[in-house]
Amino acid sequence: MKTKQHLFTVLIFLISVPLFAQDGNAKPDSTKQAPHGHGNADPKHSVYGPPMPAKWKFQLAYDYRQEEGTPAFNFYKKNQRDRTLFFTIRDNSYDNINQYRVQRIAAGAALFPIKNDDRFQFDLGGVLDKIIDSTLYNKTLYSRLTWRATKKLWLRAGFEYSDEYKYYENHLGVGVYTKSLLSSYYFSAKYKIGFFTPIAVVGNGTKDTTTNTRYGAGAMLNGPKGTFLFGGYIKSTDETEDTRTLAIGRSANFGPDAFPSSIYVWKHKNDYDFHLGALFFGKTRNRLVKPATDGMTNGMFISTITLRENSLLRQRQFLTITDDFENGEYSIFFIHMNVKIPMGPSTVVNAGFSSLQFFKLFTNTKFWIFSEPVIGLFYNEETTPEFNLTTMKMGDKTERFFSFQVGSKIKNKFMFHIISEPTRSGIIGAVSYLIN
């Protein structure tokens, strides 16, 4: 009964928000410049700013780690709306969720189908995996529709689907694949009231024959100089899925900005912790603007009721070596994930990783055919369950190692990057062709 009351409250919020948005004092599309906004006068481009020429990146890459090699071809198209088209094809790619290797094709797009208007956005994408050494395929689908009805009202509906195989070894040591069907749909709304922006979400998630209802709410507080604070909570009929989300940071101006921009997100469940942080600063380049921080915060909150199989599709990110460091002269990234795995009545082991990354991009440096070189230094930790022969119990094994990245543009047409893991004999290389 209590669950139904909470769900009813969220539904009332979702229904009432559009009604308040029709208040006589609300303007359908204000062109007034918001703090840290671009001040574009055309309502069709009121979210991401005025049109910019598209940039294309085509990347050939090879990832050699864990004594296995993964060749890949990736590309994306990018404009003021970030990546609007992306594609990847990989051989022998490692599936971190299912922990086996696949041949992968993935693609997606962000479309603006109604007169190329920022306010109507449709995202879709999919992944097709062929499991290596088998005749089995995994298929995932991702879609969502976003309507920015006014400067204050934001609505989103989404549907995701996954048809995949899980792998385990039976008591005879024989590998067995079992089919699993996952789906999720949701509806979310937020409404800006001055510096306070509440958001609510409701949806269903199905795993095979089990369906859980999820619902929750959160709020964003906007402070001076582009600062923000977010907190949210999502409840599920399966209590193990209950999730808290916190975020804090600062959005950069669309123009030159002397202050650092940043975002830090924390998600927590009883058996799961996730931290994601980014800090950008530099006098000539600082691109973590408000549409990006809003999108990341909303996405991290709502992703609790979506499928983790589609996380890369939602991020529109499939490059073997990413180029996120281009958003600032100096960039710092932190990511941490840990999952608690019960191994008996009194034993819990951990599986996860942490990475702290620092980049320096030399934006105004040119030498011969080279320009904008970058260097990166990473500290990494990986934790996996391991059976301890001394104690005869399951425990945690943590491996710590450093890695390095160097790269540069060549005649502003090509880009090369190399990541080296010296202590693990791992190396990743990528060459990209740029069309501006």
Can you list the pairs that 257-262 forms with residues at least 24 positions away whose Cβ atoms lie under 8 Å? 257/286, 258/283, 259/225, 259/226, 259/286, 260/286, 261/226, 261/286, 261/287, 261/288, 261/289, 261/293, 261/328, 262/288
Q: What is the pLDDT of residue 20?
A: 40
Read off φ and ψ for residue 248, nearest 5 degrees: -150, 150
Residues 6+ apart with CB under 8 A from 433: 57, 58, 59, 413, 414
Find, among 95, 96, 107, 162, the residue nearest to 131 by Cα. Answer: 95
Q: What is the pLDDT of residue 40?
A: 61
Please work out, in degrees rounded to the nearest 5, the angle formed at the alpha carbon of residue 292 by the alpha carbons of 76 and 149: 100
Distance (Å, whole) CA 124 – CA 76: 14
Q: What is the pLDDT of residue 394?
A: 80
Q: What is the pLDDT of residue 38?
A: 59
Q: Look at the block and give the residue holding tokens 């006589």.
A: 24
Q: What is the pLDDT of residue 342?
A: 82
**Secondary structure (3-state) at 391:** coil
Q: Which two tokens stand for residue 53?
A: 């020429």
Q: What is the pLDDT of residue 32?
A: 41
Q: What is the pLDDT of residue 1?
A: 52
Q: Look at the block and give the residue holding tokens 């041949």.
A: 103
Which 8-state DSSP code applies to residue 314?
A: H
Distance (Å, whole) CA 5 – CA 98: 37
Q: How many CA atoms lie within 13 A of 10 on its CB side?
A: 26
Q: Which two tokens stand for residue 121?
A: 């956005």
**Secondary structure (3-state) at 243:** strand
Residues 6+ apart with CB under 8 A from 417: 321, 374, 405, 406, 407, 429, 430
Q: What is the pLDDT of residue 332?
A: 97
Please work out, in degrees rounded to the nearest 5, the angle formed at the alpha carbon of residue 394 by the alpha carbons of 393 and 398: 130
3-state secondary structure string across 339-366: EEEECCCCCEEEEEEEEEEEEEECCCCE
E strand or H helix at 299: helix 290-302
Cα–Cα distances (Å) from 338 to 37, 298, 306, 327, in that order, read 36, 22, 19, 27
Q: What is the pLDDT of residue 351?
A: 87
E strand or H helix at 382: strand 370-388
> pLDDT means per 10 residues in the chain (436 residues)?
49 44 38 50 81 95 92 95 95 84 96 94 96 95 95 96 87 83 97 96 94 96 96 94 96 81 94 94 85 92 87 86 92 94 80 95 92 97 84 84 97 96 94 95
Helix, strand, coil percent values for the chain (each to nearest 5): 15, 60, 25
Distance (Å, whole) CA 357 – CA 280: 12
Q: Where are the beta strands (DSSP E) in 208-347?
A: 210-222, 227-236, 243-250, 261-269, 272-286, 328-342
Q: What is the pLDDT of residue 287?
A: 83
Instruction: Please report, as a single letter, which amino acid is at residue 322.
Output: T
Residues 6+ apart with CB under 8 A from 411: 369, 371
